[in-house]
Structure 1
Amino acid sequence: MTSENFVQSAISCFDGHYNHWSMLMENFLRSKEYWHIVEAGVAEQATSTVLSDQQKADLEGQRLKDLKAKNYLFQAIDRSILETILCKDTSKQIWDSMKKKYQGSTRAKRQQHQALRLEFETLRMKSGESVTDYFSRTMAIVNKMRIYGDKMEDVTIVEKILRSMTPKFNFVVCSIEESHDIDELSIDELQSSLLIHEHKLNQHEKEEQALKASIENHSAPRDHRKRGRGHHSTTYRTRSADKPNVECYKCHRYGHYKSECRTNLNRQHGEISNLAEKEEEVSLLMVYTGCSNHMCGDKTAFSELDESVRNTVKFGDNSNVSVMGKGKVTIHTKDNIIQTISNVLYVPDLKTNLLSAGQLQEKGYEISIKDGICRIQDKNLGLIAQVKMSAYRMFPLYLSHTTHSCLAAKLKDTAWLWHFRYGHLNFGCLKTLQ
């Protein structure tokens, strides 16, 4: 004699979240082969119809399955809710009543679906939110929309996630769009790729924080070298209190010392070699080999702009963006020399400014990439820029652009005017001459 150990599957009790409960309950009833009875109901015959023995057996079998399905529904639904259901003769009546009560009519479902669609369209990644948490929020909304009949394709979700990431992922998004076919990229592949880049970015930030702490610790003893007994805290408090009024001798800005200047950190990381000593506005350009023209999305960076130029640019994901002008961008070098980048396309929809390697070579510059370092050299001037590859395999170059301005001084007092004309003659003599 053989014995079988049968383990009863746990029944999901209704907790107020109908969509989640109905999904679990439907799967449970399908596994018991009762779902077709709940969905279609028992095929009752008219009383005047004469049934054969086989038809009677089939009808009894359906009624038995319906009773078993009702038993599972009774166990899953609380007594207080069951008392509000008027028709409980069949499992189909109970199921339809629950669906209408908690999912609503067609009109109500349409309104809920529209609310979810609006939430999906306005969804954006929060500052400091992890990739895993953002994907969980996004997919929770998508699954609710699909329950209401929305047949959203994976490519729509992928595109939404890519355009709603935080700014620190801009370079990663650009890299993914250029190296993958978005139409073929699955949601799981996108999440895996973003998780890898997120890990690298977090490691890079930790290294920067460690470097900053090391520099601060290195510069701290200089503030206490001449301290004596009873003076160990006065110098530190004075330095901290006066810090907002301190001018940096490196960048001439207030609030920090030369040893704490961010320009030193940038140079230690090797991310930039030609940086203006005094920065007005810093632009980020990506040295890129895959574009045929320099492109900039910031209109204020142009010193000259011909807005009559109109064209389109096609990216690797087959998307097209409009070119709204062409002009020049003026920048400062480390030696405070003004240089001009010509033939730059103005693309308002561009997230990251692109510096075309091909266009630089046409101008006579030599570009080499070795050991994670991109070097731009001129035949006469030598090394122009040296850029270290970042954690996301891109070459970010920080340059300071400037805008041309013309200032005029006007003197309204004629007495002062004659004072200057006569070589700063005193006013008493001017009065005598008058």
Structure 2
Amino acid sequence: MGDTTPPPPPKGKENGPSSVHCPMLTAMNYTVWAMRMKVVLRVHKVWDTINSGVPDEDKNDMAMALLFQSIPETLIMQIGDQETVKAMWDSIKTRHLGAERVREARLQTLSVEFDNIKMNESNSIDNFAGKLSSIASKSASLGEVIDEARLVKKFLKSLPRSKYNQMVDSLQQVLDLNKTGFEDVVGRLRAYEERIREEKLQGGDQELNENITGRVKFGDGSFVQIKGKGSILFQGKSGDQDFLTEIYYIPELKNNIISIGQATESGCDIWMKHDLLTMYDENGRLLMKVKRSENRLFKIRMKIGAPVCLQSKIEDDAWRWHTRLGHINFELMKSMAKKDLVRGLPHVEHGNQLCESCLVGKQTRCSFPATSSF
């Protein structure tokens, strides 16, 4: 006898009831589980034994077998002695009514959080978008999906207007927010945020490293979070400019705090007598002179400096020579002019100022030591 080939399975058999899988009941998915199980029981033609309580021993056994496949073992031990599948179904429903109320309460809490969330000035686009996505994910896991159109509109509405007003208005006019994806909008705002940050760095407002984090502890035991470290260019009353380096960026503080210890470590000379504090830099220039306040703090209003654009100052002889001599500082230029070390070098009366090229090229540095220790 030759080899025999078994007949092919009946057409459509793989799509029959045996290929329908039962969902597993968990502590938080009762509503969705019940909807799916109704479909499974209808496919197997046994839902009427639960819905109407029709006595049918074969259907009752089939429905009970399906339920046993869709509930955890601990629950089987608790309700497995029920004689009818209807009694078993009702027992599962009763046990999970409390869980359903918990689910609804959590959804209500998430809804309030979603409606009230706003982006702070100190937050980044990625950070805020992550918070919104987290709320949306939690809501979806509880059975309520926040559609992308609602997510996009909430995202744009919650941005600080003082910082993103122009970009938000442009997106609202150009894009159809009902058809635009959430990630698309986040990507556009992220690119805009990066461009603004680069412009600030080039303008010398603040060379900030957001990778440095931590927290500062105060005397009362409270803490504030550090969001970065950088340098600030400030201008004195005489017009001189100087850097405060290694400055922590702490958005929660309403006022800036200068550490005297940190100032002395950077070479500053500090004098305190009676109710007066004076601070000099390592070259002997007066940085600040402050009178003590009633609460025993030394308060001063410091003006943030801005680097000079050479293109706008190129007609000035001093600035032109500053460029020719490789962006040396004006104190050195003043000394060179007095000693007639460079022919044609004009007399310099500028304060100690910095230009954009000095900042970008990182030409500002401490003087080389007179002697080497090794």
Q: With structure 1 as the length reference, what TM-score do the two structures score?
A: 0.36
- The structure showing larger relative contact order (alpha-carbon pairs under 8 Å, at least 6 residues apart) is 1
Q: With structure 2 as the length reference, what TM-score do the two structures score?
A: 0.41
More strand per residue? 1
